[in-house]
Structure 1
Amino acid sequence: MFEAGQIAIFFLVLARISAFFAAGPVFSMPNIPGLVKIGLSFTLAVIVFPSVSANTVNYAMDSWEYVFALLREVLFGLALGYVATLVFNALIFAGSLIDLHIGFFMSSIFDPMSGSMAGIISKFLHLLGLAVLLGFNGHHIIIAALVRSYQVVPVNSAKVSAASALFLIKVFAQMILIGVQIAAPLIAVMLIVDVTLGLLARTAPQINVFMLGFPIKIIFGLLTLSVMVPVMVRIIYSLFSTIEQDMLTLMRGMT
């Protein structure tokens, strides 16, 4: 029979894992059934539970201290999931910049995976990121980092500090920078196309440059994107290798 303290610890472990799966990459997609998420969270909690010390919780499950402990675990799990998802947010942001400069932004459609409006290139980069993550077993690395969090930050010991808050802001700013860097080559090509069309409009005013610019931008944009994709796969893979390090840095800042 399980003791009350062990049951209390199990639900704390489950709270952190469930919150991470609710905010983390891949597992938080709306098209994944809720029963699958619950089952995966419960299974992982059962696996992790034996390695968690039973002396970390010494109060009753019906006390306010236990409620605050659950809330702390949920917030910590959401923070870990937020950090792990920022790479995908960078890809979506880069795709939105590319859509804006190519001319696909006006054809934005509702993306059921992100639950928001997304352009064609933005959705393509999101799917490319998912393919790279699953292809190189990145989801295993993320789950391993989540399991390791119970060693770095034991149950009911996470603390919000100035260092952790500053790190979250830094990671968010880095996500914006990465998105701009990914889209920079295509933006440069679009700038050259715009300058060329401007010179053409000055030398041949009878040509409707405005209508001519739409197909030209799309053609050069897709050609540039086709050249960028092989290199982009390597860039995305290198970005995913930093997820585990970012999660570990956040854990150390909240100890």
Structure 2
Amino acid sequence: MWEGFAQQAPGLFLVFTRLSGLIVTAPLFSYRNVPILLKMAFASLLAAILFPYAMPPSTAEFLSLSYFLQVLEELALGLALGFVASLSLQAIYLAGQLMDVPMGFGMVNILDPQLGVQVPIMARFYNIVAILVFLGVNGHHMVLMALMRSFELLPIGQVSWGPGVVMALVRGFAWMFVLGVKIALPIMGAIFLTDIALGVIARSVPQMNVFLVGFPVKIGVGLFLLVFVVPTYVRVIAQLFSEGGDMLSHLWEFIGSLKG
């Protein structure tokens, strides 16, 4: 029994390495409030489950230089897959940050326990909404299914890191910024019109302290519009994370760019 395990251990460790890389960067799995031991146990359990499905070919000699390079390649692939899967959540996070400054929340930060840093209020709010929708549409299941399919489309040791990989990442970044601006645009546009109205009032009534009045007015306008646009945002985010949505399409595009 131990001889059979020793023969399969190098391949099992390569599967575990790809899974560990994804858990480090994938949405939900990578958050700091998830204990590291739990992440390692989850990666080990998934590796044991997926190992018969992955069926890694005979690997290089254990602890050799070529085997070490294979480990690095699988780790890089897992990190890249998780990062591409997280672009959707990053776009929503960006939208919240873009809304904070015009609404007057640019200097008001709260602690994000998931990232361990200070973040603006609206960015945190949109991030929480996106996570709830992500769980509601079983987005975490889709990420794991995409990872399982990656072993079929990208067998261990058969990954091609060509120029197409860079272009796929660039398109993913561009899509993330465009989506973030689109989500934030309604409230940003309303605040811009509010600034114009306040400017007209300042010219018409010079005695009024527009700076004193402007902050609560813009915050009120932003929060008032938020009540009406959040249901639409929830539907957009649900479509984003659903099967056939943009998150999976970018994952498949990235996986396709890695095929030799």
TM beyond 0.5: yes
1:52 deviates by 2.3
* Amino acid corresponding to residue 187 of structure 1 in structure 2: M
1:243 deviates by 1.6
Aligned to 1:41: 43
Q: Which sections of structure 2, spanning at least 5 residues, go unmatched? A: none
Deviations 1:182-231 (A, max 9, x none): 00000110011001000000110000011100000000000111111000
Aligned to 1:143: 144
Aligned to 2:16: 14
1:53 to 45, 51, 55: 55
Aligned to 1:64: 65
Asked whether the 8 Å contact 2:59–2:67 carries over to 1, the reply is no
Aligned to 1:104: 105
1:3 deviates by 4.8
Secondary structure of the corresponding residue to residue 109 of structure 1: strand
* Amino acid corresponding to residue 254 of structure 1 in structure 2: L
Deviating more after overlay: 98-107 vs 109-118: 109-118
Aligned to 2:205: 204
State the distance in 1 between where 2:5 and 2:220 align. 66
Query: Is the aligned partner of 1:244 residue 2:248?
Result: yes
* Amino acid corresponding to residue 247 of structure 1 in structure 2: L
* Amino acid corresponding to residue 190 of structure 1 in structure 2: I
Q: Give % identity.
A: 36
Instruction: Identify if the C-alpha distance between structure 1 residues 155 and 207 changes in structure 2 by more than 3 Å, giving closer, same or farther.
Output: same
Deviations 1:51-99 (A, max 9, x none): 1234x23421110000000000000000001100011111111100111
Secondary structure of the corresponding residue to residue 105 of structure 1: coil
Secondary structure of the corresponding residue to residue 110 of structure 1: strand
Deviating more after overlay: 245-254 vs 217-226: 245-254
Secondary structure of the corresponding residue to residue 32 of structure 2: coil
Deviating more after overlay: 222-231 vs 113-122: 113-122
Query: Is the aligned partner of 1:254 residue 2:254?
Result: no
Q: Which sections of structure 1, spanning at least 5 residues, go unmatched? A: none
Asked whether the 8 Å contact 1:5–1:57 carries over to 2, the reply is no
State the distance in 2 between where 1:116 and 1:239 align. 26
Asked whether the 8 Å contact 1:5–1:58 carries over to 2, the reply is no
State the distance in 1 between where 2:170 and 2:178 align. 12
State the distance in 2 between where 1:252 and 1:47 align. 24
Aligned to 1:162: 163
1:120 deviates by 0.6
Query: Is the aligned partner of 1:85 residue 2:89?
Result: no
Q: Aligned pair count?
A: 254
Instruction: Identify if the C-alpha distance between structure 1 residues 176 and 199 changes in structure 2 by more than 3 Å, giving closer, same or farther.
Output: same
Asked whether the 8 Å contact 1:8–1:61 carries over to 2, the reply is yes
1:6 deviates by 1.5
State the distance in 2 between where 1:251 and 1:114 align. 27
